[in-house]
Amino acid sequence: MRALIIGGGIGGLTTAIALRRVGVEAVVFERAGDLRENGAGISIWTNAVKALEKIGLSDVVRSDGQDGGGQQEIGGTIRTASGRKLMALPVGALEKRFGPSVV
Question: What is the C-alpha to C-alpha distance for residues 91 and 81, in angstroms, rounded to an integer?
Answer: 22
Do 24 and 47 have their domain in common? no
Do 28 and 71 have their domain in common? no
Do 26 and 55 have their domain in common? no
Tell me whether residue 84 is in a domain: yes
CB neighbour class for 1 (10 Å; exposed up to 12, middle 13-18, buried from 19): exposed
Strands, DSSP E only, in 15-69? 25-29
Chain centroid offset of residue 26 CA: 20
Report pLDDT digits (tens) over 24-38: 999 999 998 887 766
Question: What is the C-alpha to C-alpha distance for residues 101 and 103, in angstroms, rounded to an integer?
Answer: 6
Number of domains in the chain: 2
Report pLDDT digits (tens) over 49-79: 788 888 888 887 777 665 555 555 556 667 7
- Domain of residue 71 covers 43-103
pLDDT at 7: 94
Do 1 and 48 have their domain in common? no
pTM of the model: 0.54
Tell me whether residue 88 is in a domain: yes
Do 3 and 48 have their domain in common? no
